[in-house]
Amino acid sequence: MILPTYNEAGNIEPMVEALGPKLKDRDRILVVDDDSPDGTGEIADRLAAADPAVEVLHRSEKRGIGPAYLAGFHRALEGGAGLIVQMDADFSHDPAYLPRLLAASEQADLVIGSRYVPGGGITEWGRTRRLLSLGGSLYARKLLGTSVRDLTGGFKCFRRNVLETIDLETVAASGYSFQVEMTYRVLEAGFEVIEVPITFRERQTGDSKMSAAIVAEAAWRVPAMRLGRRRSAG
């Protein structure tokens, strides 16, 4: 389980506690902290000292969610993980859905916790943010020619061989377009992807990391992914 953090001091300990009952004996939680100034890294270190199932990877600066996940993927693969799960540390992704993703991983190479399949949904968002999220997923789906409905979703379970096959060193997105790029890479590599319904909720503690720069990156990087595919095919 990979949890990227930046200023999640109010969430990281409750999240680790919530995940504990969902884990089996050999499962691990990896907190990837980008030098949070609010003390998130120190809290994670304390949790790791008390629980051998928790590990902390400290990074020297904030460089985006994409690089944080990539660092986590490398550490998980080095540690021999067979399944690698990624999720937000702010309870936007409910740990109660973890067993659902793990069970579905028996039938697919990548499982996405999806807001936009039947049974999925979003709570506590206003109309503007809902339209922005849904529109972003639709934009990416149409440009990339895929049927995956929640391309921007960040609650995922990868089989080990998927991450070993994808050239992680060439994954370029740093913001939330990272979610789109990873799913697209998995599809292009011929792996099986399925979506299971989840309800996404607004964080209760801390500040959102969404910004205009992140939206702008997604707007140009998605067509760049499609162009890169055409060049490869040519």
Residue 183, helix vs strand vs coil: helix
Residue 232 has pLDDT above 50, yes or no: no
Please state the rounded mean pLDDT for residues 184-211.
Answer: 84
- Let me know if 158 is exposed, middle or buried by CB neighbors in 10 A (0-12, 13-18, 19+): buried
Residue 206 has pLDDT above 70, yes or no: no
120-142: pLDDT as tens digits: 999 877 777 777 777 778 888 88
Would you place residue 230 in the very low, low, confident or very high pLDDT band (cuts 50, 70, 90)?
very low
Structural domain total, the chain: 1
Note down the domain range covering 166: 2-233
CATH (domain of 111): 3.90.550.10
CA atoms of 158 and 7, how far apart (whole Å): 26
Contact 39, 5 (CB under 8 A): no
CA atoms of 141 and 85, how far apart (whole Å): 23
Contact 152, 195 (CB under 8 A): no
Residue 154 has pLDDT above 90, yes or no: yes
Contact 112, 196 (CB under 8 A): yes
pTM metric for this prediction: 0.88
